Amino acid sequence: MATDYRPEDIKVLKGLEAVRMRPGMYIGSTGKSGLHHLLYEIVDNSIDEAMAGVCDRIRVILHEDGSAEVEDNGRGIPVEVHPETGKSTLETVMTTLHAGGKFSSSAYKVSGGLHGVGASVVNALSEVMEVWVRRNGKVYYQKYSRGEPLCEVRELGETTEHGTTVRFKPDPEIFSTTEFDPDVIENRLRELAFLNPGLTIEFEDRINDYKTTFYYDGGIKEFINYILKNNNLKSLHETIHVSGTYEDIKIEVAFVYTALQDEEKIYSFVNNIRTIDHGTHVTAFRNVLTRLLNDYGKSLGYLRKDDSFQGEDVREGLVAIVNVLMPNPEFEGQTKGRLGSESAGTAVTKIVRERLTELFEINRGLLKTILERVQESKRAREEARKVRELVKRKSAFEGAQLPGKLADCVTNDVEKSELFIVEGDSAGGSAKQARDREFQAILPLRGKILNVEKSSMQKLLNNEQIKDIIYAIGTGIGERFDRSKLRYGKIIIMTDADIDGAHIRVLLLTFFFRYMRPLIEEGRIYIAVAPLYKIQLTDRTLYLYSDEEYQALMKELNGSEKIVEVQRYKGLGEMNPEQLWETTMNPVTRRLICVTIENAEEADALFEILMGEDTQERKNFIERHALKVTYLDV
């Protein structure tokens, strides 16, 4: 770097050179979003004509050569000589930064264009740009390249029409892509049609031979219905629409609540410009709605005097559109992503509070529906907070001592170790004696465990048997599940071969599916198949695992061998350690069933046991979680 800093080192950029050198300052980026911003700048100028009441039709065309065209039937850009520049006003607007009708309140009361840079920036960043103006019974034309005029403004002929047509081709020297996305453009034009009832917007994509027309009389109320349908949402009440004007600022808000347990969907606009990052108008709407619902919540008994709805309670499930029309809006940046005008927030607060108060005083049924929805969100938030605090306090049971009933194994090799969850202390005692201490651990449970599907998280975490299972497995549960802390490669459910055993098994499977699902997905949850019969023949002992096997054996023997003894086990506790090892725990001879998420019919049978006679509740559960369990012999 030179040590001398001289006057000639200072570069003075002329005309539109600054735009070409630093395009991101004007359109945000030189990627896809910046490319579309060019088109929106021209469309916004036509929309401003519509807001001024002098335009009711706009046409947007994507041409085969990669250029885009915007035509309107507005007043047409003036072509007469501008008194300050000495050039045609058309050329002045298209080639000079900060030159436009948006600075004069006589030309536009409100407009999306603010800085007077839109058309000239598009010109500067276009390989070619052409403009046709229909005005004063004449058609005028001028052509440009990269911001410089290629000819004088000339008259082409006569016409009875009026308006402006702009066609431009983005400069490949500037943009990483020059291919417009028709879906993105179509969505933006649809928004503009909703925001300007009575305006017809035609869109033609000649590259893909596609045409469509947007025209809506219902305004933003119709926009809300479109959003609900497009997102497959069901509203809890009729769409609320309020509007009014305060100090030359026109406010229009439409909103509705849905059952969606998720953050709000708010679409905000200022002078038809989508404010993606919202701003003062949206903040004001959120705040006034929250305060108003808190006031009514306390007066109508939905809240205690010392309690309140939080902003997140009010926002959950909310779908809203906030539309503001105002003179001289203050945006943060040329791309107009966020509104900074404090006056807009003041206007929204005043108008929304007044109109909603009037509405809620008349329609108490509507108010009750909204308050109940917000109250439901509040309960869910408080329950989630209690759970987070409980989980944080217990740290998902990390560092806790292992359950006293757990008989742990010796090996530290997770993939070789097994945890048997055994029904009852009696069977647990036999299993502890039968096991191979090197790799088999035993955790006995007493009676039926908690049905977690019908219990809160707080109740689950306070249940001793559930805590023992979580302590023993070591991974934690739910969002805090940590696969790296798994202590056993196989978790084997070992219950009696009767209906009570099946019930306990399904309760355990429900817990694993709901709170340790990765263990099922990895194929780490197993069911030990215990024998139902012991058949002692003269010279051998047979174990049978079902009534069908027993009947088949009786038919096969048919008196050929003498049956010394038939024992039907009522439970695992009736087996001595040697029998339990031989039939259920020995890796060589045992039968295990791996639980996977695949087969709905067998899940249906399992959860019929779990949910009892409440068939509808069972079906709702399976549908809600899409649980599919199949048993695979291994």
Q: For residues 141-149, give the mean pLDDT.
A: 93
574 vs 185 pLDDT, higher one = 185
Same domain, 414 and 309: no
Question: Quick check: is 498 catalytic?
Answer: yes
Quote the Cα angle for 352-353-357, to 5°: 115
Same domain, 210 and 224: no
Quote the Cα angle for 30-35-40, to 5°: 135
494 vs 499 pLDDT, higher one = 494
3 vs 258 pLDDT, higher one = 258
Same domain, 382 and 426: no
Q: Which domain holds residue 277?
A: 219-386
Same domain, 410 and 350: no
Quote the Cα angle for 178-144-188, to 5°: 45
Report how far residue 328's alpha carbon sits from residue 341's, in angstroms, rounded to the nearest whole number.
Answer: 9
pLDDT at 391: 53
Domain boundary among 159, 181, 214: 214
Q: Which amino acid is at 232?
A: N
For 196-209, b where at least 16 C-beta lie within 10 A, e where not — what string?
A: beebbbbbbbeeee
Q: Give me 417's structure tokens.
A: 């170790």
CB 36 within 8 A of CB 274: no
pLDDT class for 336, splitting at 50, 70, 90?
low
155 vs 384 pLDDT, higher one = 155
Q: Where are the alpha helices (DSSP H) in 129-198?
A: 182-195
Same domain, 89 and 183: yes
**Residue 109: DSSP 8-state:** S
Per the domain annotation, does 147 fall within a domain?
yes
Domain boundary among 162, 192, 214: 214
Q: Give me 608's structure tokens.
A: 């019929």
Question: Quick check: is 547 catalytic?
Answer: no
Q: For residues 71-82, give the mean pLDDT.
A: 92
pLDDT at 443: 92
Per the domain annotation, does 9 fall within a domain?
no
Q: Which amino acid is at 463?
A: N
Same domain, 327 and 428: no
Report how far residue 625's alpha carbon sits from residue 520's, in angstroms, rounded to the nearest whole number.
Answer: 14
Identify the CATH number of the domain in which residue 307 sits: 3.30.230.10
Helix (H) or strand (E) holding 152: none
Per the domain annotation, does 625 fall within a domain?
yes
Poorest-pLDDT segment among 59-68, 331-340, 601-610 = 601-610
Q: Which amino acid is at 575?
A: M
Helix (H) or strand (E) holding 463: none
Q: Give me 67's structure tokens.
A: 């250029």
Same domain, 255 and 196: no
* Strands (E) located in 38-137: 57-62, 68-72, 126-135
Report how far residue 535's alpha carbon sits from residue 557's, in angstroms, rounded to the nearest whole number.
Answer: 12
Report how far residue 417's alpha carbon sits from residue 594's, in angstroms, rounded to the nearest whole number.
Answer: 16
Same domain, 296 and 226: yes
Q: 423, 453, 468, 582: which is the annotated catalytic residue? A: 423
pLDDT at 8: 46
pLDDT at 606: 55
Same domain, 203 and 335: no
Q: Give me 1's structure tokens.
A: 């770097």
pLDDT digits (tens, 9 = 90+) for 409-442: 888 888 999 999 988 777 788 889 989 999 999 9
> In total, how many domains does the chain have?
3
Mean pLDDT over each residue of the chain, to the nearest integer: 83
Helix (H) or strand (E) holding 423: strand 418-423
0.75 surpassed by pTM = no
268 vs 14 pLDDT, higher one = 268
Q: 69, 71, 191, 496: which is the annotated catalytic residue? A: 496
Residue 5 has pLDDT above 50, yes or no: no
pLDDT class for 145, splitting at 50, 70, 90?
very high
Per the domain annotation, does 326 fall within a domain?
yes
Question: Could you count the other beta carbons within 10 Å of the beta carbon of residue 610?
Answer: 19
Q: 295, 500, 574, 604: which is the annotated catalytic residue? A: 500
Q: 498, 574, 604, 608: which is the annotated catalytic residue? A: 498
Same domain, 35 and 121: yes
Question: Quick check: is 500 catalytic?
Answer: yes
**Residue 581: DSSP 8-state:** I
